[in-house]
Amino acid sequence: MYLKIFILTLTISLIYLKIADKFNIIDKPNHRSSHTTPTIRGGGILFFLAILIYFILSGFQYPYFVIGVSLIAIVSFVDDIVTLSSNVRLPFQFIAIGLCLLQIGFTLNNFLILIPLLIAGVGFINIYNFMDGINGITGMYSIVVLLGMLFINLKENIVSIDLIIYSLISLVVFGFYNFRKKARMFAGDIGSISIAVLLFFIGSYLIKELKSPLILLFILVYGADAILTLGYRKSIGERITEPHRKHIYQKLVHTLKLPHLKVSLFYAITQAIINVIVYFGYQLSLRNQLIILFSCIVVFVLIYVYLFRVIEKRKVLTT
């Protein structure tokens, strides 16, 4: 069955390449872009279609989650073609996250925790959406995060394994076009947002059922980079919704001139190491989990500050 899903996803990818080329769904480079040639965008539609294929073959499991991810995927795909205002996107994002929480088992009776989770969920998918800046980063990182969740789920059997594996297959197929020096397609908003909603759904489900805050470390590497970069941009008065090159992984590419795929692989491998810590620690006492959680966060904040200073010094020397 997995081989059939792989062949089906690969076929869909070939069809999408022709459709996107015909209808000019192209990401054209500008002064903030990390690419230099026009590239097909919206290739992350494969992630969304993998979820739909799972939904159909599973007998329509997780209907609220699928409705939510479908709504936000459609809006995001339109945003890939014609830029939409955040006033249009945000309501659908809140609806999508709300439906995920409903699917997990939260109700209006959980009002006090529901509102913070809604805000955190929408914040997470928007932060994850900022990731798609260099070749390989979204695909490699998402594969590693999903694999971490898969290994715990194989022990605990909380979320459908097929949902995770179908999504992994779509990421691998996407990687065939994206994990290269000159990418043939980018994930686009539909890809990064769809996979972010999926990660939020699975991660939140695991945290709720296992009562393990350590699951949060599955997004530590990019999460630390994204949040600290966000804080830095706010401190210098930048609009956080504007495209930029302030992430550490972008600085490694544009300032230190490291290859895209090496930087993406570095992020993925680093997150994989953290995943091992999560795998062997998620069943520890709450006290020990919190010690590990905050220790890892502190370490990565220090790493971020160190890398930021090194890169800024190199930037000054080269100018």
Q: Kindly provide the b/e burial profile for residues 94-124, where b requires at least 16 CB atoms within 10 angstroms of the residue's own CB.
A: bbbbbbbbbbbebeeeeeeebeebbeebbeb
SS3 content of the chain, % helix, strand, coil (to 5): 75, 0, 25
Query: How long a stretch of residues is the chain?
Result: 319
Among 43, 281, 57, 88, residue whose Cα is nearest residue 179: 43
The stretches of 219-259 forming alpha helices (DSSP H) are 220-235, 248-254
Alpha-carbon Rg for the chain in angstroms: 19
Q: Judge contact between 304 and 252, C-beta under 8 A.
A: no
Two tokens, residue 156: 């605990």
Helix (H) or strand (E) holding 266: helix 260-281
Question: Rounded to whole angstroms, how far apart are CA atoms 260 and 292?
Answer: 31
Residues belonging to the binding site are 129, 189
Compute the distance between CA of residue 244 and CA of residue 130 in angstroms, rounded to an integer: 9
Q: Which of 214, 203, 227, 228 is nearest to 274 (CA)?
A: 214
Within a 10 A sphere around the Cβ of 1, how many other Cβ atoms? 9
H-helix or E-strand spanning residue 188: helix 188-210
Annotated binding site for Mg(2+): 129, 189
